[in-house]
């Protein structure tokens, strides 16, 4: 399952990230924010108008907003 | 930009992740004695100030832009990386680093901290916002952290001035370090693992208490309730900007008038007196009256930023902004532009993606700013009948609303066009930390407000002053001969004659062309300049003189002309200050020139189309 499909409130671990699908700078920024392989995360909020975009992700003690395209590049495993 | 720093003073740089409370710590250490400038060549703010260590040694303190690492992903991070490495032209490398950590987000902030410590510079760690961590049920042991990191770790609460003396002490004693291979050889992933281990070791106790911000987010980011709350907040902001500012603006206006009359009465009639009163005081005064609006608007923006709500507003609006190729970060700058494009363009600094930021700057003038209101109000009152349509909706209000909507729709269309041409690039992503909620501190707000107000006033004192003087000269020279009107004889009059030829196809007459010239300084001047022209024109004819401006307009303009004039002002970049601030924020004349060209082009087309459609419709 990719991260954009994860229902709100469920915890998961990022098992793989398809880095080449992301713009290099954004990939670096995601890494810097701790969104990379091995991170334990949960989807905490979704945007208005159907909730496709953006997605708020809890990682550690931090909440990070990303676009669906970023989340779709991350393979997760529910915990 | 002057940077007179006595040689020999050590340089101390505050560095850390965004949202680590760096600016609050910087404010607490240096107080209001700060120098704000741009780093040369980039529009990243350079904040510096003086701090006296407990030993009596004065040091120069800089607040480096927040960064997640030394491998830059934004202009801010690039500045930080270069300054620390000593590679930034004209900037000496800092002698001591103060790494600022958010105590309640250690496992994240320690990643960058390790990268900084690996540099081997004299370093002190400020474990900041320990009070908020305690509020979240997190108790930390700074000594454990100091042992792990090998540098002093000082718990601080910047906003309560806790730990500042100890921090100063540690800075004074910070010396050369030789980081072991355990720090230097690590990659990003190893640092993350180490950060987790260190954070776990430093945590003495942690309660599973539900954190306040999670609860607030449940409400404020709710897909249904969230937008309603945002809308309500925005309504209050607009209400404040337009209603609360009025008494202050009126008072300033009265002050400017009093000064104008006072100077006029005190000095003997001369050219110099006229330059001073009709040129300088009237011109600069017409811009100064916007200060209350700008201060109130920025008070709200700063409060929204400091409280952490701004990021939530961006989150809520991201989807809509994405549809025109922008991101949620553009929302607040564009919103601010409804009051005035200048604070709006200044607020684009929070947009990390350079192309996003440029697009936002370029469309900001299309948001209907408050300076257009006087123009709209006069024309609408004169030409649009005071009647109701569709049961109770006033036609005048409807026209005004339409003008706002046309501006917004135009901006969205331009954003789309720009994003697929001049500012083309990978679809701008939206990756943003949602910081913890915090009570905004009055002192930080006051410092921020003062800085914004000062930037605005300084511009009024320089660029606007110069433009005003030039316009005054153009309107007053050469002197009119007997029986000739000064306006006709002046350079501006001649220019207007030339301009009239250009704007004739879009239905403008010479008076309208003339009004456009002084309105370059500020849009609302169009009104006073029309009033002056018709007052001069009326001469000694008392019946004519008694007519209000609205009646004058009605006698001299047709409805299609008036509508074309309104359409012109929706798009025309008639504001020197906006052009000047765009030059400042984009670092050159390329983009302000482009902005002028495209906005005038749009204005010309819109006014022309309006005129001919209205004529064809028989209005």
Q: Is B434 at the interface with chain A, CB within 8 A?
A: yes
Q: For residue range A26-62, what is the model confidence (pLDDT) as tens digits?
A: 888 888 888 888 888 999 899 887 767 899 999 887 8
**Percent of chain B beyond pLDDT 90?**
28
Give yes or no for B426 touching A (CB within 8 A): yes
Q: Which of helix, strand or coil describes residue B61? A: strand
Do residues A33 and A27 touch, judged by C-beta distance below 8 A?
no
Of the pLDDT bands very low, low, confident and very high (cuts 50, 70, 90), residue B208 is low
Mean pLDDT of the residues in chain B: 84
**pLDDT tens figures, B519-552:** 887 787 777 777 766 765 555 565 655 566 778 8
Confirm whether B592 is domain-assigned. Answer: no
Residue B2's pLDDT is 39
Residue B231 pLDDT exceeds 80: yes
Number of domains forming the structure of chain B: 1
Nearest in space to B198 (alpha carbons), one of B121, B112, B322, B289 = B112
Strands (E), B469-516: none
Kindly state whether B73 is in contact with chain A, defined as any CB-CB distance less than 8 angstroms.
yes
Does position B210 have pLDDT exceeding 60, yes or no? no
> At B509, phi and psi to the nearest 5?
-95, -175
B561 alpha carbon, distance to own chain's centre: 34
pLDDT higher than threshold 50 for residue B4: no
Over range B356-361, report the average pLDDT. 92
Is the pTM above the cut of 0.95? Answer: no
State the average pLDDT over residues B313-322: 88
For B283-295, write each residue's pLDDT tens digit: 777 667 778 877 8
The mean per-residue pLDDT over the stretch B357-377 comes to 88
Does the CB of A49 have a partner CB in chain B at under 8 Å?
A: yes
pLDDT tens-place string over residues B46-94: 889 999 999 999 999 999 998 988 888 778 888 999 999 999 988 899 9
Q: Tell me the mean pLDDT in the region B119-142.
A: 88
B561-574 tens-digit pLDDT: 999 999 999 999 88
Question: Above 70 in pLDDT, residue B174?
Answer: yes
Residue to mutate among A54, A66, A70, with most B CBs inside 10 A, is A54
Q: With contacts defined as CB-CB under 8 Å, which chain A residues touch B76? A: none
A13 and chain B in contact, CB less than 8 A:
no
Six-digit token string for B367: 């948001």
Taking CB atoms and an 8 Å cutoff, what residues of chain A touch B429? 23, 26, 66-67, 69-70
Residue B461 has pLDDT above 60, yes or no: yes
Superfamily of segment(s) A3-78? Ferrous iron transport protein A (FeoA) (2.30.30.90)
Q: CA B149, CA B143: separation in Å to the nearest integer?
A: 10
Domain span at residue B176 reads 10-209
Under an 8 A CB cutoff, do A65 and B223 touch? no
As a whole number of angstroms, the distance between CA B56 and CA B52 comes to: 6
**Long-range contacts of range A49-56, CB-CB < 8 Å, 24 or more positions apart?**
A49/B223, A49/B319, A49/B320, A51/B223, A52/B319, A53/B318, A53/B319, A53/B322, A54/B315, A54/B318, A54/B319, A54/B328, A54/B430, A55/A3, A55/A4, A56/B217, A56/B221, A56/B315, A56/B434
Look at residue B357 and tell me if it is in a domain.
no
Structure tokens at B491: 């350079």
- For residue B84, being part of any structural domain is answered with yes
Distance CA B149, CA B126 (A): 12
Q: Quick check: B605 pLDDT over 80?
A: yes
Chain B residues touching A43 at Cβ < 8 A = none
The per-residue pLDDT for B535 is 63
Kindly list the domain boundaries of chain A, sorted by start residue.
3-78
Distance, in Å, from the CA atom of B234 to the CA atom of B138, rounded to the nearest integer, reads: 35
Average pLDDT over residues B471-475: 78
pLDDT of residue B493: 83
Question: Coil, strand, or helix at residue B94?
Answer: coil
CA distance B574 to B523: 6
Mean pLDDT calculated for residue range B239-243? 75
Q: Decide if pLDDT at B472 tops 70.
A: yes
Query: What value does the mean pLDDT take over residues B442-464?
Result: 79
Per-residue pLDDT at B101 exceeds 90: yes
pLDDT the model gives residue A76:
92
Confidence of residue B3 (pLDDT cuts 50, 70, 90): very low
Q: What is the pLDDT of residue B459?
A: 67
Position B5 scores a pLDDT of 46
Cα end-to-end distance, chain A, whole Å: 12
B5 in a structural domain: no
**Angstrom distance (rounded) from CA B434 to CA B105:** 12
Q: Which of B17-26, B205-214, B303-312, B577-586 has the lowest mean pLDDT?
A: B205-214
Asked if B284 and B467 count as a contact pair (C-beta separation under 8 A), the reply is no
pLDDT bin (cut points 50, 70, 90) of residue B466 is confident
The CATH number covering residue B66 comes to: 3.40.50.300
Which residues lie closer than 8 Å to B153 by C-beta, 6 or more apart? B125, B127, B142, B143, B145, B146
Average pLDDT of span B217-227:
90
Average pLDDT over residues B488-512: 87
Dihedrals φ, ψ of A15, to 5°? Answer: -100, -25
Residue B105, chain A, CB below 8 Å: the answer is: yes
Q: Which residues of B touch A62 (CB under 8 A)?
A: 105, 108, 433
Q: What are the chain B neighbours of A61 within 8 Å (beta carbons)?
A: 104-105, 107-108
B124–A contact, CB cutoff 8 A = no
User: In sequence order, what E strands does B228-384 have?
Assistant: none
Nearest by Cα to B44 from B447, B584, B595:
B584
Considering chain B, what percentage of its residues have pLDDT values greater than 70? 92
Angle at the Cα of B357 (from B356 to B359), degrees rounded to 5? 65
pLDDT in tens, B268-282: 888 888 888 877 787
């Amino acid at each position: 399952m990719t991260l954009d499909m994860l229902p709100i409130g469920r915890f998961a671990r990022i098992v793989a990230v398809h880095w080449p699908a992301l713009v290099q700078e954004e990939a670096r920024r995601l890494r810097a924010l701790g969104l990379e392989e091995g991170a334990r995360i949960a989807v905490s909020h979704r945007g208005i108008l159907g909730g496709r975009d953006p997605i708020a992700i809890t990682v550690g003690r931090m909440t990070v907003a990303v676009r669906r395209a970023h989340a779709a590049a991350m393979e997760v495993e529910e915990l | 930009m002057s940077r007179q720093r006595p040689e020999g003073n050590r340089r101390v740089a505050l560095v850390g992740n965004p949202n680590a409370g760096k600016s609050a710590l910087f404010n607490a250490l240096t107080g209001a004695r700060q120098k704000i400038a741009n780093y040369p060549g980039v529009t990243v703010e350079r904040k510096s100030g003086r701090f006296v260590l407990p030993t009596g040694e004065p040091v120069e303190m800089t607040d480096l832009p927040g960064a997640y690492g030394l491998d830059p992903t934004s202009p801010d991070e690039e500045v930080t990386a270069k300054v620390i490495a000593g590679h930034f032209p004209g900037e000496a490398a800092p002698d001591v680093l103060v790494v600022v950590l958010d105590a309640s987000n250690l496992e994240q902030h320690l990643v960058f901290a390790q990268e900084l410590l690996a540099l081997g510079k004299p370093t002190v760690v400020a474990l900041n916002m320990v009070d908020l961590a305690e509020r979240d049920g997190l108790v930390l042991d700074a000594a454990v952290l100091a042992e792990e990191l090998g540098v002093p770790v000082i718990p601080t609460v910047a906003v309560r001035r806790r730990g500042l003396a100890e921090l100063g002490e540690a800075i004074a004693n910070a010396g050369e370090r030789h980081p072991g291979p355990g720090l230097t050889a690590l990659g990003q992933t190893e640092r993350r693992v180490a950060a987790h281990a260190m954070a776990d070791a430093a945590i003495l106790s942690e309660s599973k208490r539900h954190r306040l911000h999670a609860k607030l987010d449940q409400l404020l980011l709710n897909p249904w309730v969230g937008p309603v709350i945002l809308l309500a907040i925005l309504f209050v902001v607009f209400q404040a900007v337009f209603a609360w500012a009025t008494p202050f603006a009126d008072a300033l206006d009265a002050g400017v008038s009093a000064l104008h009359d006072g100077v006029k009465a005190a000095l003997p009639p001369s050219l110099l007196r006229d330059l001073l009163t009709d040129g300088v005081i009237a011109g600069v005064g017409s811009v100064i009256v916007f200060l209350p609006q700008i201060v109130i608007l920025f008070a709200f923006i700063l409060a929204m930023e400091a409280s952490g709500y701004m990021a939530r507003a961006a989150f809520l609006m991201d989807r809509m902004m994405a549809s025109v190729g922008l991101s949620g970060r553009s929302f607040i700058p564009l919103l601010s532009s409804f009051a005035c494009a200048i604070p709006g363009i200044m607020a684009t600094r929070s947009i990390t993606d350079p192309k996003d930021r440029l697009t936002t700057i370029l469309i900001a003038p299309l948001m209907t700013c408050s300076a257009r209101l006087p123009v709209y109000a006069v024309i609408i009152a004169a030409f649009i009948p005071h009647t109701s349509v569709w049961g109770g909706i006033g036609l005048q209000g409807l026209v005004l609303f339409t003008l706002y909507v046309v501006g917004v729709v135009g901006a969205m269309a331009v954003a789309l066009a720009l994003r697929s041409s001049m500012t083309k690039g990978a679809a701008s992503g939206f990756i943003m930390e949602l910081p913890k909620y915090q009570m905004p501190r009055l002192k930080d707000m006051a410092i921020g407000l003062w800085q914004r107000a000062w930037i605005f006033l300084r511009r009024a004192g320089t660029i606007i002053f110069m433009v005003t003087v030039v316009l005054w000269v153009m309107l007053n020279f050469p002197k009119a001969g007997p029986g000739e009107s000064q306006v006709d004889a002046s350079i501006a009059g001649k220019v207007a004659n030339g301009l009239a030829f250009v704007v004739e196809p879009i239905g403008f007459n010479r008076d309208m062309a003339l009004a456009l010239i002084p309105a370059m300084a500020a849009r609302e001047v169009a009104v006073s300049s029309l009033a002056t022209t018709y007052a001069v024109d009326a001469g000694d004819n008392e019946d004519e003189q008694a007519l209000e401006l609205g009646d004058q307009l009605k006698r001299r303009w047709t409805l299609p002309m008036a509508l074309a004039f309104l359409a012109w002002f929706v798009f025309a970049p008639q504001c020197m200050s906006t052009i000047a601030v765009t030059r400042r924020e984009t670092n050159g004349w390329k983009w302000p020139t482009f902005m002028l060209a495209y906005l005038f082009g749009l204005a010309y087309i819109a006014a022309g189309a309006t005129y001919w459609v209205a004529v064809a419709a028989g209005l």
